[in-house]
A and B are shown apart, each in its own frame.
Chain A
Amino acid sequence: MSSTQKMLMKGNEALAEAAIQAGCHHFFGYPITPQTEVAAYMAKKMPKIGGTYMQAESEIAAINMVYGAASAGVRAMTSSSSPGISLKSEGISYLAGSDLPCLIVNVQRGSPGLGGIQPSQADYWQATRAPGHGDLHVLVFAPSSIQEMVDMVFDAFDLADCYRMPAMILADGMLGQMMEPISFPEKQVKTYDKSGWSTSGHQHKRAHHIVNSLYLQPEELEAKILERFQRYEEVKAKHTRCEEYLMEDAEYVVVAYGATSRIVRSSVNSAREKGIKVGLIRPLTLWPYPYAPIEKAAERGAKAFLSVEMSMGQMVDDVRIAVNGRAPVSFFGRTGGVIPTPAEVLSEIEKMAGGDR
């Protein structure tokens, strides 16, 4: 594709347009910096294509509208930023407990509490460990460019429909606000048969469907959860994604995702120029997490691992699980909306290679 077919889009706009092109015509949101352009874009575009844009009275109302729309079998979406995702967590649990597909976008900002409006990755634990109460997972995608964010929106809707579970795009304020040249994939929207469970009207021709997360008998609930976890195992086996950069001969390994991985990549290049054999493992899915490539690097004898995040160290837990004591695992990060610089990360890589980490 020649560059002239590309266009410049802001991350938030691209998220919204990709969702529409992926067949999502039902968006329920509530404004919050730095994701407001998603809702603003939807507000402008949905009426023109016969879709639904609803600015709910709160984040909680918005996620419950997604619950309703998803129950009816349509592709539905909401987006917010960190504090708003906390408000949505009850609804996310209900969606997961009712086996409903949907897309939730989190353009992370500084936290805890109201925090700040600059980029952050401090919702990793929330996204991968407890997006809501209970035994549940949501698919978590971690794009690092606007183009990848667009592509992942399509994948997220497809996998959510296929496995009947919520999917999340875990972005950050930098990805939401920056602009990059992109193109939209010319794909046919995949459609999944939801007629076996959706509450889309029985017209007195079949028994009514019930979408529900309440089970009166513990054994019945347990069986439901066990069945769901079998599906999770299939997702883990088939849809764990990660990118390896300069890992063939890497003695030192940096693990980073999202916008931070772009900074780390630049630092890894600088470290290579200085003769340090360092590589980057970049998870593209955070649940399921790509433990295997990290395990492989540890088994192959990598000398040390470093997780770089815009947080106080959250994903580093998963790196430790994967490395499992075979090599030192350390962490470097900036938090509260501060973005690490390529020079800072380079200095941490040098420390690691010098045995100071």
Chain B
Amino acid sequence: MLTNLKRIVVVVGHYGSGKTNFSVNLAVDLKAAGRDVILVDLDIVNPYFRSADFGALLEEKGIGLIAPVYARSNLDVPALDGRLDAVIESDKTLVIDVGGDDAGAAALGRYSAMIREAGGCDVLYVVNAYRYLTRTSEEAAEILGEIERKARLEVTAVVNNSNLADITTADDIVSSAGYAEETARRYGIPVLCTTAWKKLAAGVGEKLPGREIYPVDIYVKKPWEV
């Protein structure tokens, strides 16, 4: 899965679908696979639980971070960072973690022409069947359409990130496979992978033969889970 990803990988989705946790995992794994990776926090909507929170981890792993100038500060200003323009045209691998829904995708729209000129990108739409307001493939597909219009980029694949936080079971993930496939089918695109918390991945894999299972660590944590 990782080897087939384009140089620029854009991660979009509904608020709280798990874009940030997926993006951090992807950045870490692409780096481990030998790529020169920069994680881009493009979320100008939500000041909490964002990629910019993982500066120390990324630095330790040798992954670059580009985040809005005022991310993690008390200034709730949607100011983007000019460094992104420069790296889009570089040879670095970019994982771009976009803000939720179409509101978040608006920031991406500003870069769409540039990204196309630089050779295009994978746009991954993260879905969670247990997330309120995207519990059916119909609802998930509707939000996908809204995001595409604002992003001015087409979604290329669905990432099934269905989970119920710390109470997720392998069966919860397995039973969400059809939902993700139906969401993807509505747009004629593939399901890139189904994510599973590393300790659940083997169990999920057994019950979903032939599907790409992407084992993930949980990086996005609450203060009492640290």
By a beta-carbon cutoff of 8 Å, the part of chain A in contact with chain B is 3-4, 6-10, 13, 17, 33-34, 37, 110, 115-118, 173-174, 177-181, 259, 262-263, 265-266, 337, 339-342
**Interface contact B223-A8, CB-CB below 8 Å:** no
- 11 A–B pairs (Cβ distance < 8 Å), ordered by A: A3-B167, A4-B172, A6-B130, A7-B135, A8-B128, A8-B131, A8-B132, A33-B76, A117-B74, A180-B165, A181-B130
Q: How far is A259 from B133 in the complex, measured between Cα atoms in Å? A: 25
Q: Which residues of B contact A4 (CB under 8 A)?
A: 130, 171-172, 175
**Interface contact B48-A265, CB-CB below 8 Å:** no
**Interface contact B169-A262, CB-CB below 8 Å:** no
**Interface contact A117-B76, CB-CB below 8 Å:** yes
Given contacts A116-B74, A341-B223, contact A179 B48 (CB under 8 A): no
**Interface contact B224-A342, CB-CB below 8 Å:** yes
Q: Which residues of A contact B168 (CB under 8 A)?
A: 3
**Interface contact A339-B74, CB-CB below 8 Å:** no
Minimal Cβ-Cβ distance residue in A for B48: A177
**Interface contact B15-A174, CB-CB below 8 Å:** no
Minimal Cβ-Cβ distance residue in A for B171: A4
Query: From residue B47, how far is it (CB to closest CB) to chain A in Å?
Result: 5
B46 is an interface residue with CB less than 8 A from chain A: yes
Q: Which residues of A contact B226 (CB under 8 A)?
A: 341-342
Minimal Cβ-Cβ distance residue in B for A144: B224
B118 is an interface residue with CB less than 8 A from chain A: no
Q: How far is A9 from B164 in the complex, measured between Cα atoms in Å? A: 10
Given contacts A174-B223, A263-B224, contact A10 B47 (CB under 8 A): no
Minimal Cβ-Cβ distance residue in B for A44: B133
Number of B residues near A (Cβ < 8 Å) is 27
Query: From residue A38, how far is it (CB to closest CB) to chain B in Å?
Result: 13
- Secondary structure at the A interface, as helix, strand, loop or mixed, is mixed
Minimal Cβ-Cβ distance residue in A for B162: A8
**Interface contact A7-B46, CB-CB below 8 Å:** no
**Interface contact B175-A13, CB-CB below 8 Å:** no
Q: Which of B48, B132, B222, B223 contacts A13 (CB 8 A)?
A: B132
Q: Which of A9, A179, A180, A339 contacts B223 (CB 8 A)?
A: A339
Q: How far is A217 from B168 in the complex, measured between Cα atoms in Å? A: 62
Q: How far is A173 from B222 in the complex, measured between Cα atoms in Å? A: 12
Q: Which residues of B contact A37 (CB under 8 A)?
A: 15
Q: Which residues of B contact A173 (CB under 8 A)?
A: 48
Q: How far is A7 from B168 in the complex, measured between Cα atoms in Å? A: 11
**Interface contact B169-A3, CB-CB below 8 Å:** yes
List the 4 shortest-distance A-B pairs measured between CB atoms, nearest first: A116-B74, A177-B48, A262-B224, A181-B164
**Interface contact B130-A7, CB-CB below 8 Å:** yes
Minimal Cβ-Cβ distance residue in B for A265: B224
Q: Which residues of B contact A33 (CB under 8 A)?
A: 47, 76
Contact with A along B54-68 (1 / 0, CB 8 A): 000000000000000
Minimal Cβ-Cβ distance residue in A for B47: A117
**Interface contact B46-A177, CB-CB below 8 Å:** yes
Query: From residue B17, how far is it (CB to closest CB) to chain A in Å?
Result: 9
**Interface contact A10-B15, CB-CB below 8 Å:** yes
